[in-house]
Amino acid sequence: MKPEYRSLQPARQAVILLFLVVGAWYLNWRLETFNAAHPVFSWLLYGAEVFGFFTAVLNIFMTWRLSERTAPPPALGLKVDVFIPTYNEDVEMVRRTALARTKPGFWTTATARRCARWRNRSACVTWREPIMRMPRRAISITHCRTARRT
């Protein structure tokens, strides 16, 4: 399938051309305003400005003609699993995260007994072992009643 191309709007083309003219004028003007006391730093700064202008020109070149592609329709029967990594988070926060889904099956590392009730109601698959070992005990950012500082 061949993609369709769309050019930029004329107003945007005018702004880009104005940018190119002003940028070229600025780089020419900067050559006349070098600091004679520190020419190395002046050339380094000028090189950085030329690099920035060149990068902007490349970006303009890449986006001047955009391709519009349409995504193929998804295959039937696809399923998505949502993985919720947890470590000492509050049960209410994990519950709200899990209930925000639109009915996919999901996996969690919340193995605490206090999570068992909502986990069983939600048809959640749980790992008994942590997927990743922490080098030290992590402290949750959320307010968790059971988190202990070490």
Tokens 């988070």 sit on residue: 89
Instruction: Give pLDDT < 50 ranges for the chain.
Output: 104, 106, 134-150
pLDDT, tens only, 43-58: 999 999 999 999 999 9
Q: Is pTM, for the whole model, over 0.85? A: no
pLDDT for 134 equals 47
The per-type count for the chain, helices as H runs and strands as E runs, is 4, 5
pLDDT for 143 equals 42
pLDDT for 69 equals 78
Helices (H), the chain: 10-32, 39-63, 91-99, 116-121
